[in-house]
Amino acid sequence: MWKKEWPKHSVLAIAIIATWLKTYLTYKTSFSITIDNVLQEFILFINPLSMLLFVYGIALFFKSEKARNRYILAIALISSIILYANVAFYRFFSDFITLPVLFQTDNFGDLGSSASESVFITDLVYFTDVILILLAMKFIRIIPASNLNLAVQRKAYFIISAAVLFFNLGLAEMERPQLLTRGFDREMLVKNIGMYNYHLYDMYVQSKSQAQRALANGSELVEVNNYIRANQPDPSKDMFGAAEGRNLIVVTLESLQSFTINGEMGGKPITPFLSELTKDEDTIYFPNFYHQTGLGKTSDSEFLVENSLYPLSGGAVFFTHSGNTFNSMAESLGNKGYHTSVQHANTKSFWNRDIMYQSLGIDQFFDIESYTIGEGDAVNWGMKDIPFMEQSVEHMADLPQPFYTRLLTLTNHHPFYLDEEDKLIDEFDSNSGTVNRYFQTARYLDESVKVLFEELKEQGLYENSVIVMYGDHYGISENHNEAMAQYLGKEITPYESAQLQKVPFFVHIPGFGEGYVDEEIGGQIDIRPTVMHLLGVDSEQDIQFGGDLFSEEHEEFVAFRDGRFITDKHVYAGNVCYDIETGIETDKAACEPSIEPAMTELEYSESIINGDLLRFYDEKNGQLILSEDELKKLDKEQQRLKEDTQN
Ligand code: GP9
Ligand code: MN
């Protein structure tokens, strides 16, 4: 029976195997996908299978052989086109296709001109499976079989297909936890779930955000705008324009938490350079400054810096909404004549940066390709911070001035591995290797900042620049509370956990001469207005949730992405209200007045992102761009409000 049935579907079997193997060979020959171990290679090998089994398997529902064959051929062609389109795209952009890229007009110009250069006649090899399937259809004689067990066979087939899919997803989750909730990197997605599943995932992510976008008409912005206008602090008179016309260098200190500043390990300072800098006459240091990132980690911190909007509660906004309209700091400074860039020695598609930076109006992206990684220059995630700083300053020397450049460091990243010769202090001694190693990589990061300052001086760039540095997010997660409690010598309560979300924030203005430690409570959301005002750039009309930290009116209020918040008197964490000074639990009523505002801000920000609302806003004149109908409705509403107040 089985023998009789088998040949009937031999074309199907050939199709699945041929497309599967072709896809794997294409991975290996046409893309540079980094493979670190055998498990990764195995995942890469099996990952085309889950989708192919499902899609080709639909052929089992066709009764006539002709229809079945046509369907199989159509699938072979479509999958080949998808794969080949990626090959051609990759030749030019070193990246996989994502839907927004097809809709970004800037890219289209490049696509058109590069298409002819990226396509060769020998590329027919990418259609080998189609040819094989055609041959099979022509030459294999199908033995007629009874259809008696068809339903059972189909069921078994799809159960096996589902098992393959879950097996693949399970391995992917093991290899990269939270891959599908966070997105991370297209290369990582293709590597773990496969090219075909990746496109399905991409379509899902993009269509979800497109649907929310389609429902918005701009009227949502009225309330948000009123809220922002009512809450924006005026710039500080003393500090506005204090660094006018200077270059702006923003350094993201990977995973650096504030407890490392002025902290010790084995009798030695963890961050000698940065700790000394807090006392420097040209530095304003903020010890009560918090990160506000969510799942998008570094990219969320970048999003906060550029837009002063909160990142999303789920997923990384760099991935989900890279096609939105933004009014970034880069764009504003660009309009003032600044050349804008980001420097980061990692793959450009990580966190979808290559696409998102275009939406943020960043002129130039120095990714891994812009760096020369000599022997011994790489560790852990890639290039070490010291050579990274050296080469980044070389890039700066060639930039037109004034420039705004952001440097993203990388060595102090989980799992915090470091070469022996770069270990400048002892490891900690606890049951957590992660915590133990963290001190050494943090120490190395500190050394790289010292190198940055030296190099800037050497290149003559130092005096005419302002250097802003911030920690992007925690390095030590709550999984390591026991080891952290051992280091800090106190129990990690929800209050302490919230306090551990403090990250350093430095504003260094060479020649300023009036440096001090500013105890003001603030967060990453405040960086944009603080820095723009320092450079003398107005942000009065901007849609932003942060405030100038130098302003006398700045409100001491920091909402975390997960709903926890900090005020000048309280810490609200785990539904408990704590006194900020003592860490002692207080009556929840004390926090009550801020619970609502924290939620409101987060929701307003989320609605701006989901509805792509900034496309309805003209920041040059602070006007909403609404349709006739919406304007009429708004007029009526205002009229009614006026009458109400008069009565
Ligand atoms: C990757 C780097 C680290 O390019 O920014 O990202 P993270 O894991 O910290 O978000
Ligand atoms: Mn990071």
Is 290 near ligand 1, meaning CB less than 6 Å away?
A: no
Q: What is the pLDDT of residue 3?
A: 41
Pairing assessment for the beta strands 283-286 and 516-517 based on DSSP bridges:
parallel
Other C-beta atoms lying within 10 Å of the C-beta of residue 491: 12
Is 413 near ligand 1, meaning CB less than 6 Å away?
A: yes
The number of the ligand 1 atom at minimal distance from the alpha carbon of 297 is: 10
Query: b vs e for 538-576, b when ≥16 Cβ sit within 10 Å of the residue's Cβ?
Result: ebebbbbbbbbbbbeebbbbbbbbeebbbbebbbbbeee
Q: What is the pLDDT of residue 107?
A: 45
- Cα separation, 89 vs 104, whole angstroms: 14
Is 530 near ligand 1, meaning CB less than 6 Å away?
A: no
Taking a 5 Å cut-off on Cβ, the residues next to ion ligand 2 are 254, 297-298, 472
- Pull the structure tokens for residue 546: 């942060």
Other C-beta atoms lying within 10 Å of the C-beta of residue 625: 13
- Cα separation, 332 vs 614, whole angstroms: 14
- Ligand 1 centroid to Cα of residue 452, in Å, is 20
Is 502 near ligand 1, meaning CB less than 6 Å away?
A: no
Other C-beta atoms lying within 10 Å of the C-beta of residue 259: 18
- Pull the structure tokens for residue 177: 């936890």
Q: Is 409 an active-site residue? A: no
- Ligand 1 centroid to Cα of residue 414, in Å, is 9
- Cα separation, 136 vs 129, whole angstroms: 10
| Backbone phi, psi, residue 592, to 5° | -45, -50
The number of the ligand 1 atom at minimal distance from the alpha carbon of 353 is: 4
How far CA 75 is from CA of 88, 140, 612, in Å, comes to: 20, 19, 35
CA angle (618 as vertex; 616, 619 as ends), nearest 5:
130
Torsion of Cα atoms, 63 then 69 then 72 then 78, to 10°: -130
- Cα separation, 201 vs 199, whole angstroms: 5
Nearest C-alpha to atom 6 of ligand 1 is from which residue?
298
Assign 606 to helix, strand or coil: helix
- Cα separation, 129 vs 75, whole angstroms: 11
- Pull the structure tokens for residue 514: 């009036």
Assign 347 to helix, strand or coil: coil
Nearest C-alpha to atom 7 of ligand 1 is from which residue?
298
Residues with pLDDT less than 70, the chain:
1-7, 103-117, 144-148
Nearest C-alpha to atom 5 of ligand 1 is from which residue?
298
Is 303 near ligand 1, meaning CB less than 6 Å away?
A: no
- Cα separation, 269 vs 207, whole angstroms: 50
Closest to 49 in 3D by CA, of 96, 84, 17, 72: 17
- Cα separation, 150 vs 155, whole angstroms: 9
Residue 233 gets which letter from DSSP? P
Q: What is the pLDDT of residue 104?
A: 57
Closest to 521 in 3D by CA, of 571, 556, 551, 570: 556
Is 297 near ligand 1, meaning CB less than 6 Å away?
A: yes
The number of the ligand 1 atom at minimal distance from the alpha carbon of 300 is: 10
Nearest C-alpha to atom 9 of ligand 1 is from which residue?
298
CA angle (273 as vertex; 267, 278 as ends), nearest 5:
100
The number of the ligand 1 atom at minimal distance from the alpha carbon of 296 is: 10
Gyration radius of the chain over CA positions: 28
- Ligand 2 centroid to Cα of residue 473, in Å, is 6
- Cα separation, 184 vs 299, whole angstroms: 9
- Ligand 1 centroid to Cα of residue 426, in Å, is 25
Is 68 near ligand 1, meaning CB less than 6 Å away?
A: no
**C-beta of residue 213 within 8 angstroms of C-beta of residue 612:** yes
Closest to 327 in 3D by CA, of 624, 542, 106, 613: 542
User: One of 252, 298, 347, 441 is an active-site residue; which one?
Assistant: 298
Record the pTM: 0.87
